[in-house]
């Protein structure tokens, strides 16, 4: 009885507890806007904990309104009952990802792109069954990818992260509704050939810049756009991959190891606008059936071993604007047929083995060419005057050939010309004054020829000229003071490039960018860009052409840097003489001045302090007098080389104020006296920076024990630290070799698509243009990827 009572009471208690639990349970499962708000406030404190300063828009949550639907970055269902979208893109969020997104159980849209999120994607995300849009691109997320469970996804963007491993945990699990998937620029590995068969709705798939191996997925022909560029895909392409109803608009297989012939069935893809097969091992003929793809605007076949015959059928491609047949080992005279591609805008034949001249082919009569790149061949004729008839030319790249003779003054008639690159040829004679008529010119690259005479004062008329490289010629005479007028105003050109939806960039952009970036072993980008992919290169180039600064430059006397466009003057390795014009102070748009290994003399003008220089190299001249104390006020200097001159007096202590200096050389100025400080910036440099100066004293090392042997010859020195060569790698793990892999046709693709999508108003999906500097910095890329011997 007592027992019973006890039992009853116990039973009652159990029921009671159960009841309570059930009530609590229903209360918990009853989601509402209030619970959503609760979770968002948890998210807010989670983020605030990890981001004590520099918080994003989420910081204001709850400040203006208690209804979360009004909060920054939040969107709700049409009835306002639940939170359905969260956009914290570009919100300066770092740290790990929030682990309870699934508690927002109506969440359909999640955008955390362009932050610096780290670590793995938490398992919790797999429970977000309603997610339709997930964008985690441009972060530092890592680990294997498992999104199984996120089955409603339509758009997935994981590009530019550090994900690893193969895709099998997520694909085909997330495939049902998937339309867009961007996995590019990660570290994914493994095969792709059976991952996407189940993705019946897929239209846009970007797998570029990963480490995928194995054979190509054969199902791609039902997509609209497919890129697997920059991977390690092997094997032949099977003819059956090109189904009869192929709907591809853009196909990019560039920079892989795909072998064999290109199947003629490719012509089934009769909507193709861009076809990029660059940088593979294709052999055999270029299929003449390509000539029936009348929509084709970009055809990129460089870096393969196609046979030399270009099918006549390609002449039918009325829309063809871009033709790239670089690096195909074509020898002999340039094929005549190129002279008949009158529809072309860009013709890129660099890196072949062409010999002889170019006039016989008739390409100089092509009416609409804006870009002609014949660099890295073996042309050996005189520089053809006929090129001056190509009045639409904007980019003329003839570098690295054996062109001889003089520069025709008629080139001064190319009024649209923005880049003239004739470097590394055998050109003689003087620089024609008529080049001063090139008022659109941004680049003048004449380095490594045998040019003589003076720099014509007319060049000073080139008001938009920003990047001048005349190094390693035999130029003589004084630098005309008119030269200081260059680069005073390039806005009209930049403005017109901004207006132009046409492809202003192109395959040589990495080459030119390389030269731009690496003056004297200094790459302003070295510390900014650790992802040396062709995408970065293309963006930099595009930004430069539009006059958007890509690296920070500081104004006189200030160390505050702002993004602005800034040029260089590279005159080293000539026989230039005279004094540096005092007008030099006007050159506010220049950050690199290289006058090394010439015969300049006199004082270094104090006005130089007005130029926002980052690099100043005047070594190997006959400068004399005091080193101007004003140099100590050039706060942005990172590299200062005054070595091998006749400077005298005391070394100014103000140089110790140059806190950004990482390269300093004052050696072999034997008349220079003074004491080398043991602290401050100058105290950070070793003996090499000061040797050969017996009157200098250092508490740290002995400088007068012996006078070391004289420095190596100027020319040698130029090559060591010059515009090219090994100096390129000097910037903080930034490998140009890696960057240049894929230069050439590979990168045109994006540009071409940019052009096309812009023009047609289609989704701009291959070229996210100028998306800021900050995320480039954030992303780490193995600088040595692509270091696998692929040639430019
Ligand atoms: C993802 O976000 C990035 C950066 O915010 C944006 O450029 C990209 O277009 C987005 N991806 C998709 C598929 O919408
Ligand atoms: C890819 O993996 C390699 C080797 O594990 C590493 O060196 C590199 O930094 C990784 N790259 C990225 C983008 O995560
Ligand atoms: C294309 O054709 C194949 C058979 O050749 C068929 O299975 C597929 O459904 C077709 N695709 C479309 C989009 O029509
Ligand atoms: C050249 O360009 C002009 C203007 O864009 C165009 O009208 C003309 O048809 C083009 N010529 C050829 C041969 O494509
Ligand atoms: C280029 O031409 C020069 C002579 O003009 C010759 O010595 C050299 O071997 C040629 N190079 C190639 C790669 O054919
Ligand atoms: C081109 O330039 C040359 C020399 O500068 C000049 O004599 C000639 O008249 C110009 N030709 C045309 C067609 O403008
Ligand atoms: C081109 O340059 C030459 C030499 O500087 C000059 O005589 C001529 O007038 C210029 N022509 C034009 C069209 O500006
Ligand atoms: C100049 O010539 C040297 C020696 O041949 C070569 O190493 C270097 O690459 C050339 N410089 C440029 C700017 O191409
Ligand atoms: C620069 O250096 C001089 C001499 O060493 C010193 O007097 C001056 O305060 C320094 N100026 C700045 C801005 O640091
Ligand atoms: C994928 O992302 C990369 C890097 O963010 C971007 O360059 C590319 O255009 C994107 N591709 C698509 C298809 O959106
Ligand atoms: C991807 O390939 C690059 C270049 O071959 C290599 O350095 C890197 O280690 C690879 N990453 C992985 C994760 O295999
Ligand atoms: C500053 C502010 O508006 N705070 C409000 C945040 O929301 C809670 C309730 O959700 C209010 O009590 C606070 O006043």
Q: Residue range 18-42: average pLDDT?
A: 68
CA-proximal residue: ligand 10, atom 14 (nearest): 765
Nearest residue (CA) to ligand 6, atom 1: 410
CB 149 within 8 A of CB 121: no
Which residue has better confidence, 701 or 68? Answer: 68
* Distance of alpha carbon 556 from alpha carbon 41, whole angstroms: 46
Closest ligand 9 atom, residue 653 Cα:
5
Assess whether the C-beta atom of 187 lies below 6 angstroms from ligand 2: yes
d(CA 205, CA 218) in angstroms, rounded, equals: 13
Provide the 10 A C-beta neighbour count for residue 561.
Answer: 17
Residue 527 has pLDDT above 60, yes or no: no
- Of 92, 225, 768, 774, the one to substitute when testing ligand 1's pocket (max ligand atoms within 8 A of C-beta) is 768
CA dist., res. 174 & res. 199, Å (int): 8
Q: How confident is the model at residue 503 (pLDDT cuts 50, 70, 90)?
A: low
Query: Which spans in 338-451 are helix H?
Result: none
H helix intervals, 316-397: none
d(CA 213, CA 196): 15
Asked if pLDDT for residue 415 goes beyond 70, the answer is yes
Rounded to whole angstroms, how far apart are CA atoms 679 and 672? 20
Q: Among 323, 346, 368, which is best to mutate for testing ligand 4, by the most ligand atoms less than 8 A from CB?
A: 368
**Average pLDDT along the chain:** 83
Q: What is the mean pLDDT of residues 165-187?
A: 94
Whether the pLDDT of residue 554 is over 70: the answer is yes
Q: Check pLDDT > 50 for residue 564.
A: yes
Q: Whose CA is nearest to atom 7 of ligand 6?
A: 410
Q: Ligand 3: which of 179, 201, 222 to mutate, judged by most atoms within 8 Å of the beta carbon?
A: 222
What's the 551 CA to ligand 9 centre distance in angstroms? 27
Alpha carbon 646 to chain centroid distance?
A: 41
- With 0-12 / 13-18 / 19 or more C-beta atoms within 10 angstroms meaning exposed / middle / buried, residue 49 is exposed
- pLDDT confidence of residue 49: 93
Average pLDDT over residues 693-704: 80
Residues 6+ apart with CB under 8 A from 137: 113, 114, 157, 158, 159, 160, 161, 182
Protein residue with least CA distance to atom 14, ligand 3: 245
Q: Which residue has the least CA distance to atom 2 on ligand 12?
A: 63
Q: Does 456 sit in the ligand 7 pocket, CB within 6 Å?
A: no
Calculate the CA dihedral of residues 356, 358, 362, 368 and round it to 10 degrees: 160
Q: Is 48 left (phi over 0), alpha (psi -120 to 50) or beta?
A: alpha
The H-or-E segment that residue 760 falls in is helix 745-760
Residue with more model confidence, 357 or 723: 357
**Angle formed by the axes of helices 509-517 and 745-760, nearest 10°:** 110
Q: CB within 6 Å of ligand 4 — which residues?
A: 342-343, 367-368
Q: How confident is the model at residue 790 (pLDDT cuts 50, 70, 90)?
A: very low
Task: Report CA(792)–ligand 5 centroid distance (Å).
Answer: 18
SS3 3: helix
CA of 453 to the centre of ligand 6 (A): 22
d(CA 502, CA 98): 43
Residue 701 alpha carbon to ligand 4 centre in Å? 69
Nearest Cα residue to 723 out of 535, 541, 522: 522
Question: Which residue, among 373, 660, 378, 390, has the nearest Cα to 524 in the 3D structure?
Answer: 660
Which amino acid residue places its CA nearest to atom 8 of ligand 6? 410
What is the best residue among 385, 393, 409, 410 to mutate for testing ligand 6's pocket, by most ligand atoms within 8 Å of CB?
410
How many whole angstroms from 468 Cα to the centroid of ligand 8?
16
- Within 6 A (CB) of ligand 10 lie 137, 159-160, 182, 184-185, 204, 206, 535, 765-768
Q: Inform me whether the pLDDT recorded for 732 exceeds 90.
A: no
Q: What percent of the chain has pLDDT over 90?
A: 67
Q: Collapsing DSSP states into helix, strand and coil, what is residue 419?
A: strand
pTM: 0.83
Atom number in ligand 10 closest to CA 225: 13
- Quick one: CATH architecture of 33-201? Alpha-Beta Horseshoe (3.80)
* pLDDT higher than threshold 70 for residue 19: no
**Nearest-angstrom CA–CA distance, 11 and 4:** 10
252-307 per-position pLDDT tens digit: 999 999 999 999 999 999 999 999 999 999 999 999 999 999 999 999 999 999 99
Instruction: Decide if pLDDT at 400 tops 70.
Output: yes
Backbone angle region of 160, left / alpha / beta, with phi > 0 → left and psi within -120 to 50 → alpha: left
Structure confidence at residue 448 (pLDDT): 95
730 in Cβ contact with 742 (< 8 Å): no
The tens digit of pLDDT for each residue in 453-492 reads 999 999 999 999 999 999 999 999 999 999 999 999 899 9
| Residue-level pLDDT at 10 | 58
Q: Which pLDDT belongs to residue 288?
A: 96
Taking 80 as the threshold, does the pLDDT of residue 389 lie above it?
Answer: yes
The minimum-distance atom of ligand 3 relative to the CA of 247 is 13
Q: How confident is the model at residue 788 (pLDDT cuts 50, 70, 90)?
A: very low
How far apart, in whole angstroms, are the C-alpha atoms of residue 657 and residue 643? 19
Query: What's the CA-to-centroid distance between 368 and ligand 4, angstroms?
Result: 6
- Per-residue buried b or exposed e for 171-196, using 16+ beta carbons within 10 Å of the residue's own CB: bbbbbeebbbbbbbbbbbbbbbbebb
281-286: long-range contacts (C-beta < 8 A, 24 or more apart)? Answer: 281/257, 281/305, 282/258, 282/306, 283/259, 283/307, 284/260, 285/261, 285/309, 285/311, 286/262, 286/310, 286/311, 286/314
**Ligand at shortest distance from the CA of 355:** 5
Is any ligand 1 atom within 6 A of the Cβ of residue 155? yes
Q: Which residue has the tokens 């095969």?
A: 191
Asked if residue 235 has pLDDT above 60, the reply is yes
CA 123 and chain centroid, separation: 34
Residue 526, both tokens? 């070295």
Residue owning the nearest CA to atom 5 of ligand 10: 159
Separation of 122 CA from ligand 12 center, angstroms? 30
Cis preceding linkage at 172, omega within 30: yes
The arithmetic mean of pLDDT across residues 661-665, rounded, is 92
pLDDT digits (tens, 9 = 90+) for 77-102: 999 999 999 999 999 999 999 999 99
* pLDDT bracket for residue 9 (50, 70, 90): low
Has residue 370 got a pLDDT over 60? Answer: yes
Q: What is the mean pLDDT of residues 578-604?
A: 94
Alpha helices in 486-619 (DSSP H): 491-499, 509-517, 534-545
Atom number, ligand 9, closest to the C-alpha of residue 632: 1
Torsion angle, alpha carbons of 114, 116, 119, 123, to 10: -40
pLDDT of residue 107: 96
Return the beta strands (E) in 579-650 as ranges. 590-594, 599-602, 615-617, 622-625, 639-641, 646-650
Ligand 2 contact, 211 CB (< 6 A): no
Helices 745-760 and 534-545: angle between axes, nearest 10 degrees:
60
- The finding on whether 654 has its CB within 6 A of some atom of ligand 9 is yes
Q: How far is the CA of 644 from the centre of ligand 9 (A)?
A: 26
Across the range 492-518, mean pLDDT stands at: 67
Select from 277, 206, 271 the least CA-distant residue to 244: 271
Give the pLDDT of residue 126: 95
Looking at 166-170, 303-307, 627-631, 705-709, which range is the least confident one?
705-709
CATH number 3.30.565.60 given to 552-792: no
- 268 burial class (0-12, 13-18, 19+ CB within 10 angstroms)? buried
Convert the pLDDT of each residue in 755-787 to its tens digit.
Answer: 333 233 222 222 222 222 222 222 322 323 333
Going by alpha carbons, the residue nearest to atom 4 of ligand 7 is: 434
Nearest-ligand number for the alpha carbon of 206? 10
197 close to ligand 3 (CB < 6 Angstrom): no
- Please write the tens of the pLDDT for every residue from 105-124: 999 999 999 999 999 999 99
Q: ∠ CA(278), CA(279), CA(282), 5° rounding?
A: 80
pLDDT in tens, 329-343: 999 999 999 999 999
pLDDT digits (tens, 9 = 90+) for 135-154: 999 999 999 999 999 999 99
- Please give the DSSP secondary-structure letter assigned to residue 221: G
Report domain extents, the chain. Answer: 33-201, 552-792
Judge whether 33-201 and 552-792 match in fold.
yes
319 CB near ligand 11 (under 6 Å): no
Tell me which H or E stretch contains 753. helix 745-760
Q: How many residues does the chain have?
A: 792
**What is the β-pairing status of strands 452-453 and 426-427?**
unpaired
Given a contact cutoff of 8 angstroms between Cβ atoms, the answer to whether 252 and 276 are in contact is yes
Q: In whole angstroms, give the CA distance from residue 523 to residue 734.
A: 9
C-alpha distances in angstroms, 788 versus 472, 572, 784?
Answer: 31, 33, 8
With a cut of 80, say whether residue 164 has pLDDT above it.
Answer: yes
The yes-or-no verdict on residue 736 having pLDDT over 90 is no
Q: Give residue 51 CA to ligand 12 midpoint distance, Å.
A: 22
Please tell me the distance from the alpha carbon of residue 216 to that of residue 238, in angstroms, as a whole number: 9
- Reading the block at residue 773, the tokens are 């500097």
Is 695 in a helix, a strand, or coil? coil
């Amino acid at each position: 009885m007592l027992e019973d009572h006890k039992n009853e009471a116990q039973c009652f208690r159990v029921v009671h507890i159960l009841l309570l639990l059930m009530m609590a349970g229903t209360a918990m499962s009853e989601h509402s806007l209030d619970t959503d708000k609760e979770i968002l406030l948890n998210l807010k404190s989670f983020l605030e904990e990890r981001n004590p300063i520099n918080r994003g828009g989420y910081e204001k949550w709850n400040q203006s309104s208690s209804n979360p639907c009004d909060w920054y970055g939040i969107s709700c269902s049409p009835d306002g009952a639940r939170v359905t979208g969260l956009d914290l893109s570009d919100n300066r969020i770092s740290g790990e990802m929030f682990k309870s997104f699934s508690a927002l159980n109506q969440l359909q849209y999640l955008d955390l792109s362009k932050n610096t999120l780290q670590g793995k994607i938490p398992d919790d995300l797999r429970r977000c069954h309603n997610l339709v849009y997930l964008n985690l691109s441009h972060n530092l997320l890592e680990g294997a990818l498992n999104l199984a469970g996120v089955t409603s996804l339509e758009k997935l963007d994981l590009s530019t992260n550090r994900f690893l491993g193969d895709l099998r945990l997520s694909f085909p699990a997330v495939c049902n509704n998937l339309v867009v998937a961007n996995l590019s620029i990660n570290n994914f590995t493994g095969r792709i050939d059976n991952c996407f068969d189940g993705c019946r709705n897929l239209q846009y798939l970007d797998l570029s810049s990963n480490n995928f191996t194995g054979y190509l997925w054969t199902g791609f022909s039902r997509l609209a756009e497919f890129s697997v560029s920059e991977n390690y895909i092997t094997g032949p392409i099977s003819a059956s991959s090109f189904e009869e109803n192929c709907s591809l608009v853009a196909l990019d297989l560039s920079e892989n190891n795909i072998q064999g012939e290109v199947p003629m069935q490719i012509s089934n893809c009769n909507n193709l606008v861009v076809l990029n097969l660059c940088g593979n091992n294709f052999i055999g003929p270029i299929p003449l059936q390509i000539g029936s793809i009348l929509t084709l605007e970009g055809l990129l076949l460089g870096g393969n071993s196609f046979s030399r015959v270009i099918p006549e059928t390609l002449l039918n491609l009325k829309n063809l604007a871009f033709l790239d047949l670089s690096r195909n080992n074509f020898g002999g005279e340039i094929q005549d047929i190129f002279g008949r591609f009158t529809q072309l805008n860009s013709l890129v034949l660099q890196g072949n083995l062409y010999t002889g001249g170019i006039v016989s082919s008739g390409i100089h009569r092509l009416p609409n060419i804006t870009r002609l790149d014949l660099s890295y061949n073996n042309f050996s004729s005189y520089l053809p005057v006929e090129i001056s008839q190509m009045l639409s030319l904007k980019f003329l790249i003839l570098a690295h050939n054996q062109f001889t003779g003089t520069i025709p003054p008629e080139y001064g008639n190319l009024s649209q010309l923005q880049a003239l690159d004739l470097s590394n040829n055998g050109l003689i004679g003087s620089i024609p004054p008529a080049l001063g008529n090139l008022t659109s010119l941004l680049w003048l690259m004449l380095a490594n020829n045998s040019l003589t005479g003076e720099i014509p004062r007319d060049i000073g008329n080139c008001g938009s000229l920003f990047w001048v490289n005349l190094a390693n010629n035999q130029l003589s005479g004084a630098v005309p003071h008119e030269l200081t007028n260059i680069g005073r105003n390039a806005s009209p050109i930049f403005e017109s490039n901004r207006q132009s939806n046409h492809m202003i960039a192109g395959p040589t952009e990495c080459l030119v960018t390389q030269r731009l970036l690496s003056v004297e072993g200094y790459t302003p980008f070295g510390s900014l860009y650790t992802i040396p992919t062709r995408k970065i290169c293309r963006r930099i180039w595009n930004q430069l052409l539009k006059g958007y600064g890509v690296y920070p430059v500081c104004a006189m006397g200030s160390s505050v840097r702002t993004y602005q466009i800034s040029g260089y003057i590279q005159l080293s390795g000539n026989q230039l003489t005279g004094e540096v014009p005092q007008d030099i102070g006007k050159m506010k748009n220049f950050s690199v001045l290289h006058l090394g290994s010439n015969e300049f003399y006199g004082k270094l003008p104090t006005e130089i302090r007005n130029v926002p220089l980052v690099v100043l190299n005047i070594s190997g001249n006959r400068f004399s007098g005091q080193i101007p104390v004003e140099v100590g006020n050039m706060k942005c200097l990172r590299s200062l080389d005054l070595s091998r001159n006749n400077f005298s007096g005391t070394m100014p202590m103000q140089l110790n104020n140059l806190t950004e200096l990482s390269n300093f050389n004052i050696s072999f100025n034997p008349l220079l006296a003074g004491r080398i400080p043991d602290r401050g910036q100058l105290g950070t440099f070793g003996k090499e920076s000061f040797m050969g100066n017996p009157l200098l004293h250092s508490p740290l090392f002995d400088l007068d024990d012996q006078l070391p042997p004289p420095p190596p010859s100027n020319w040698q020195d130029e090559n060591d630290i010059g515009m090219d060569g090994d100096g390129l790698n000097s910037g903080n793990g930034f490998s140009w070799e890696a960057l240049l892999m894929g230069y050439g046709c590979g990168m045109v693709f994006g540009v071409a698509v940019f052009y096309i999508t812009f023009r047609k108003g289609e989704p701009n999906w291959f070229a996210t243009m100028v998306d800021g500097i900050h995320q480039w910095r954030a992303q780490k890329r193995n600088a040595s990827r692509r270091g696998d011997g692929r040639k430019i």
